[in-house]
Structures are given as structure tokens and as C-alpha cells.
Amino acid sequence: MAAITASMVAELRAKTDAPMMECKRALTEADGDMARAEELLRVKLGNKASKAASRVTAEGIIAIHVAGSVGAMIELNCETDFVAKNDDFLAFGNDLARMIAERAPADVAALSALDVDGVSVEARRSTLIGKIGENIAIRRFERFSGTGLASYLHGTRIGVVVGFDGDDVAAKDVAMHVAAMKPVALSAADVPSALIESERSIATQKAAEDAEKAKADGKSVQSPEIVAKRVEGAVQKYLKEVSLLNQPFVKNDKQTVEQMLKAANTTVKSFTLYVVGEGIEKKSENFADEVAAQMAAARGA
């Protein structure tokens, strides 16, 4: 049996927003497997357990540069929100986005090696670290070309670039929609199979849990055929919720994004969404200590 530490409970709680002791129980049942524990919480608590999954866990900015049909988006990280507002840090991020669009480096290493007036990007990064006093990291970037481009920045923490043919205003609206609703794919057919299977597994486990509860309450249990339809219905609902074209349009929820685009004679070919710190774990010793104290208090209760 794996030891369940306070930091593990804190991490799962940050991911799921589930109650602390529920997180501990799920980790215990999963023998310390974080992914399995998150799945168990989804079965028990439904979508509430995943509402904090996109919570940012690092500081920094998203910068975008678009010129005609060529553009770039980059995530530049730092240690504190204070530095993320620093003018020199912001200028560095914007310069990098422009350089990516204009010079098309293959990856972060190639970008770091680019030379501007005899000074490499890596040298500029090191100088800025010395000036500001915090670590600065180029995390990721993407370059876009060959189609119409619409972009949207929500402050400096969320960035979207949409590839499209058609109306500029409709495409910009889609970029804003993506920033607000955070779809995982363009259409239901594009949703990764791993996500679909995970959702099917959760729905199956939830159905089994409901059947056990019905038995315990002396109620009739649904037939396997009805359960199968219920599980598939849950999967189809999930696909509509996470695919861009099927989502209700944020500016008019009586039509889907696909219907809005059709009315505007516009086709969205792709979208890319960056959220600062997405997927990065940030050290939080104070929170772990807080969880440990609450766990100790619960044991003594």
C-alpha cells in the first residue's frame, strides 16, 4: 500500500476541487495512483470533480503576433505574477512571438539560438533573468501559416489562434468563444480516443454504482441494454460539450458555433488554445502544510 502524503492530497484537491478527505479516500483506494484517484472522484462526484482541471499553476504570459496569413503564439513563464506584468518581460515575449512568425524556428532550442544584432535569444533571456531576479523559461510556441488567422488574447494569460476561411469578424468571435469555453477539439470526430474511453469508463462505473445503490434500496435495476444506452448517451453528451462546432455559441446560445459559422459563410479549419501554466505543477509548501494539519485534526476527531 502506497503512503498517501499531504502533498498528494493537496495536488488532487487542486486538480479536482473535491473535499480534502474525499481526495485522501480516493488516493487510498487507488493506492496512490493520481490518475485513477481523479477518475474515482469523477465517478463519485460527477463533473464537479474536474472543474478546476484548467486552473493555472505557474505564472507568465501568452504573446501572439499575426501578420497576414503568418502568425505565432508563445508561452513565456516566470515565477511570480509581479514579473508577468514587468514591461521588459512583456516586451521579450512579444519580440519572441514576432521572431517565431518571421524566422520559423523548429523548436525552443532553435528559437533560443536565433541571433538578433549579434545577441542570441538565450543571451537575452539570461540578461533578463539577471535584471529581474527570477527564472524565465520559454515553455512552448506554435507557428501558423497558409490560412486566414484570427487571434484573441484574454489579458496575457489566455491566447487563441484560429485558422479559417471566410469572415474575419466571425473568426474573431470563434477565437473569443474558444478562450471562454475551452473546447478540446474542433469536432466530435477529433476528440482524442483516450478522452472518450476515459469518459465511457467513468459513465460505466457511475452506472454500476447507481445499480448497487438501487439494489441496496430495494429498487429495480436497469437492464444491461438500458445501461448501455445510458453510458453511450453520457459519452455523446460529453462529445458535444467539448467539441467546438457542437458547443452553444457564447454570444447566442440558441445556435451552435457550427450554425453561426454557416450563417457567416465561414469555415474554421483549426484552433490552438494556450493557458498560462496549464499542466505545470507549482510548488506550494504552505498549502501542503495546511492539508497535513487538517488531516491530523480529522484523525484526532
Which domains are seen in the chain, by residue range?
1-55+281-296 (1.10.8.10), 59-146 (3.30.479.20)
What residues pair up with 67 in beta bridges, in sequence order?
Answer: 70
**289: pLDDT strictly greater than 60:** no
Cβ(160)–Cβ(271) below 8 Å: yes
pLDDT band (50, 70, 90) for residue 292: low
**15: pLDDT strictly greater than 90:** no
Q: Residue 277: its pLDDT value, please?
A: 87
- Rounded CA-CA distance 44/30 in Å is 14
Comparing 53 with 44, the larger pLDDT belongs to 44
Strand segments (E) across the chain: 59-67, 70-78, 115-116, 119-120, 137-145, 148-154, 158-165, 248-249, 252-256, 267-275
* Cell numbers representing residue 156 in the block: 496575457
How high is the mean pLDDT of the chain? Answer: 86
**297: pLDDT strictly greater than 70:** no
- Rounded CA-CA distance 205/185 in Å is 25
